């Protein structure tokens, strides 16, 4: 998609972006709970130390209040578009029977960075459309390899009576910009075990090629672990002696270390932004369920365990090392932040919910550029966070529970009640004032820019643009 007319000219002042554009290595993992890594209280306590990730956490900024949307598709949509997924019709994991994923009208971070001269690639899980026209190479990535949907489909082959003629198995695919993607092989349980090692290898190969070409790159290593079934690579199976989950954690740490070593070997360390994050909270499905650390709940819910995730960013000489912050940040902020740093543009013809966090990340400001977030679960505004307070409008204990509208919203102080225990309800109703302003601002924006319904086919044009 051409961005002309839809973007500002970028953060125009020349001094706003460095003369040499930084590379971006974005390592995104799937359903890693807040408490899994050593730097977040896990690691050895989960059966496997995570030395490479812990070291990365100390080499830059580590956030303790990074928030994502609570499901895979919405979180990936929000990070790549800078918009709450409710706006894009991507507010829930798709289950088939309708067009799925992002419409071509949406502008992604990859498209913006590509327009700014970056080589772009995604290796791994996509989950934002599985048909030609809505695959990564249709949404700004020069090349991609991975799975269009999600890892649990590898379990089809272990299901009694599985009939591929009624439900085709997921395929591992690859594609290049301007071409149709092609199917390579079936994503079964054997391939599930091998996938992340292959994604790591391809990510490194991409960085090597761009380093040789002296071209800035955006490499999105969208790893599939620890999404269920949590099965480690055969090289790591049994390596910890503490089961598949710990073996997977050791494998993840190793894979990240391999990519970091490649950055160093290529002489790119000082000019490469490395981001590590999880797409949402901990895995829920047993026996693969993860750990949310001090927080309540897991993914598919508005509890902190569903939305608060590990996040670290390293950029030597720009992002101060050994810094930890509990300031609120949301996944939607990544697009405007990275666009500002890279000298790229952000769409001006639609609401952008993300805010530029470059001053906060680089230490020029000790405060986040936001004080609160809206928390959507499916198409419901389930909660609002503002500073250390959180207001729940629905009760939903886990992904299997039906949401129940609360007659009186439940207000929690996350400092004194991190588990969001209903018996510790706060009655300081003054804090609902700024929360209601946030909701009002969102609702006002929807009146001017209606939400895109889930299942909307291409071509899509917003109602105002569609008028003669």
Which residue in 8, 127, 242, 254 is the catalytic one?
A: 127
To which H or E segment does residue 307 belong?
helix 304-307
Total Cβ atoms within 10 A of residue 367: 11
Q: What is the DSSP string of 216-239?
A: -EEEEEEEEEESSS----TTTTTS
Q: How far apart are CA 451 and CA 442, in angstroms?
A: 11
Buried-exposed string 73-96: b where 16+ CB fall within 10 A, e elsewhere: bbbbbbbbbbbbbbbbbbbbebee
Task: Reply yes or no on whether 127 is catalytic.
Answer: yes
> Helix crossing, 244-265 with 189-213: angle to 10°?
10
Q: How far apart are CA 405 and CA 402, in angstroms?
A: 10
C-alpha torsion 293→294→297→302, nearest 10: -120
To which H or E segment does residue 85 belong?
helix 85-88
> What is the bridge-based pairing of β-strands 389-395 and 404-413?
antiparallel
Which residue in 8, 72, 227, 242 is the catalytic one?
A: 72
**Closest to 304 measured CA to CA, from 193, 420, 382, 196:** 420
> What is the bridge-based pairing of β-strands 372-377 and 23-30?
unpaired
Burial (CB count within 10 angstroms: exposed 0-12, middle 13-18, buried 19+), residue 466: exposed
Q: How far apart are CA 109 and CA 219, in angstroms?
A: 12
> Helix crossing, 244-265 with 51-58: angle to 10°?
50
- Helix or strand or coil: residue 190? helix
Total Cβ atoms within 10 A of residue 33: 29
Residues in contact with 434: Cβ distance below 8 Å, sequence separation at least 6, in sequence order:
371, 372, 386
Buried-exposed string 370-379: b where 16+ CB fall within 10 A, e elsewhere: bebbbbbbbe
Q: How far apart are CA 156 and CA 94, in angstroms?
A: 17
Task: Reply yes or no on whether 392 is catalytic.
Answer: no
Catalytic residues: 72, 127
């Amino acid at each position: 998609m051409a961005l002309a007319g839809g973007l500002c000219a970028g953060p125009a002042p020349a001094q706003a972006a460095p003369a040499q554009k930084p590379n971006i290595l974005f390592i995104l993992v799937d359903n890693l709970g807040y408490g899994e890594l050593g730097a977040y209280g896990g690691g050895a306590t989960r059966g496997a130390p995570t030395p490479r990730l812990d070291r990365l956490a100390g080499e830059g900024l580590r956030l303790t209040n990074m928030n994502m949307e609570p499901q895979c598709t919405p979180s990936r949509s929000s990070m790549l578009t800078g918009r709450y997924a409710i706006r894009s019709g991507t507010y829930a994991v798709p289950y088939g029977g309708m067009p799925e994923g992002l419409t071509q009208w949406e502008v992604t971070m990859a498209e913006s960075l590509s327009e700014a001269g970056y080589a772009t690639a995604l290796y791994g899980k996509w989950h934002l459309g599985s048909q030609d026209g809505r695959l990564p190479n249709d949404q700004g990535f020069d090349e991609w390899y991975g799975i269009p949907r999600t890892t649990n489909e590898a379990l089809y082959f272990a299901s009694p009576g599985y009939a591929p003629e009624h439900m085709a198995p997921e395929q591992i695919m690859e594609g290049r910009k301007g071409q149709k993607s092609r199917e390579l092989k079936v994503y079964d349980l054997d391939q599930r075990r091998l996938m992340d090692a292959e994604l790591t290898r391809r990510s490194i190969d991409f960085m090597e090629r761009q380093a040789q070409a002296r071209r800035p790159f955006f490499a999105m290593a969208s790893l599939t672990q620890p999404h269920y079934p949590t099965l480690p690579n055969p090289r790591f199976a049994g390596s910890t002696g503490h089961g598949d989950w710990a073996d997977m954690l050791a494998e993840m740490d190793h894979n990240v270390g391999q990519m970091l070593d490649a950055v160093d070997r290529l002489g790119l360390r000082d000019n490469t932004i490395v981001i590590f994050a999880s797409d949402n909270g901990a895995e829920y499905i047993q026996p693969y369920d993860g750990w949310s650390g001090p927080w309540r709940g897991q993914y598919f819910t508005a509890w902190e365990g569903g939305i608060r995730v590990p996040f670290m960013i390293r950029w030597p000489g720009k992002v101060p090392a050994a810094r930890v912050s509990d300031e609120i940040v949301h996944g939607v902020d990544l697009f405007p932040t990275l666009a500002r740093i890279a000298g790229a543009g952000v769409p001006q013809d639609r609401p952008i919910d993300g805010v530029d966090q470059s001053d906060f990340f680089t230490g020029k400001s000790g405060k986040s550029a936001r004080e609160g977030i809206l928390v959507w679960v499916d198409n419901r505004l389930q909660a609002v966070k503002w500073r250390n307070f959180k207001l729940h409008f629905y009760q939903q204990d886990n992904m299997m529970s039906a949401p129940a509208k609360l007659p009186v919203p439940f207000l929690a102080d996350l400092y004194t009640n991190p588990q969001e225990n209903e018996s510790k309800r706060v009655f300081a109703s003054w804090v609902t004032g700024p929360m209601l302003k946030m909701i009002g601002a969102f609702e006002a924006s929807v009146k001017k820019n209606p939400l895109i319904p889930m299942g909307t086919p291409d071509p899509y044009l917003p109602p105002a643009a569609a008028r003669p």
